[in-house]
Amino acid sequence: MKIEILPDAAAACRRGAEAIVAVAREAIERRGRCVIAVSGGTTPWQMLEALACEPLPWERVHVVQVDERVAPEGHAERNLTHLREHFLSRVALPVRNVHPMPVQQVPLELAARRYGDTLVRLAGAPAVLDLVQLGLGHDGHAASLVPGDPVLEVGDADVAVTGEYEGRRRMTLTIPAIDRARAILWLVTGEAKAAVLSRFCRGDASLPAARIARDRAIVVADQAAAVRLTDHSS
């Protein structure tokens, strides 16, 4: 796992966008398309705004979701709402290349299986995403892989539905789906994440995030989040 420390959150967001661009260009050159999975959260929104300014052949880029809250269309808690505001409204990405998680379909478990089928259609069987962008929760969760949820043990599906967490059930990529990605980008900023980032980088097995593969991962953090790190690589 490679760790890069940037001076502040803005610089970390720009670096995250650069990393996605590099992966996208390589994927398009080698396979004719790029499939990236993006997370929610304030910092990723800033990164996506920077990404939208990049001159990529967007007609060859497909965007899927890492996770999504079960909430109505347009709800402020939906990651898709902010994805549209901060990225999709700013970039020439064809509508057909955007693949929202179907959290309004019922039953949710069937909707999750169908989303898994979408990933296979886009990225092969088994689905190998070109890049998964993740954040790091205060409790060590990534995507919606939260402490104590049975979704952590799902090994036979790429998409699953969680129990209630912070007032909402969620649909999420599973650990196997994330682990198969060609690249995993962690974006972590702010002093509030310093303690959990230190534990994550040490490989604290009690954190759900620490269960995700590290061999193709890059952590982009700002100095505030990295203040407790003693080594910038592992």
CATH number of the domain enclosing 31 = 3.40.50.1360
Tell whether 227 is covered by a domain. Answer: no
What pLDDT, on the 0 to 100 scale, is given for residue 58? 97
What pLDDT, on the 0 to 100 scale, is given for residue 233? 45
Name the residue range of residue 167's domain.
Answer: 2-127+135-222
Phi-psi region of 207 (alpha: psi -120 to 50; beta: other; left: phi over 0): beta
Tell whether 115 is covered by a domain. Answer: yes
What pLDDT, on the 0 to 100 scale, is given for residue 231? 55
Do β-strands 159-161 and 170-173 pair in parallel, antiparallel, or remain unpaired? antiparallel
Tell whether 228 is covered by a domain. Answer: no
What pLDDT, on the 0 to 100 scale, is given for residue 43? 84
> What is the distance between the alpha carbons of residues 207 and 84, in angstroms, rounded to a whole number?
30
Q: What is the pTM of this model?
A: 0.96
The structural domain count of the chain equals: 1
Tell whether 90 is covered by a domain. Answer: yes
Distances (CA, A) of 234 to 3, 4, 18, 87, 206: 8, 11, 21, 32, 18
pLDDT of the chain, 234 residues: tens digit per residue:
999 999 999 999 999 999 999 999 999 999 999 999 999 888 889 999 999 999 999 999 999 999 999 999 999 999 999 999 999 999 999 999 999 999 999 999 999 999 999 999 999 999 999 999 999 999 999 999 999 999 999 999 999 999 999 999 999 999 999 999 999 999 999 999 999 999 999 999 999 999 999 999 999 999 999 999 975 444
> What is the distance between the alpha carbons of residues 68 and 100, in angstroms, rounded to a whole number?
9
Tell whether 38 is covered by a domain. Answer: yes
Query: CB-based contacts of 159: which residues, under 8 Å, 6+ apart?
Result: 101, 112, 113, 115, 116, 119, 171, 172, 173, 174, 177
Tell whether 234 is covered by a domain. Answer: no
Tell whether 230 is covered by a domain. Answer: no
Tell whether 229 is covered by a domain. Answer: no
Q: Which residues of 114-130 are buried (b: 16+ CB within 10 A; e: fewer)?
A: ebbebbeebbeeebebb
- Residue pointed to by tokens 């990651």: 79
148 alpha carbon, distance to own chain's centre: 20
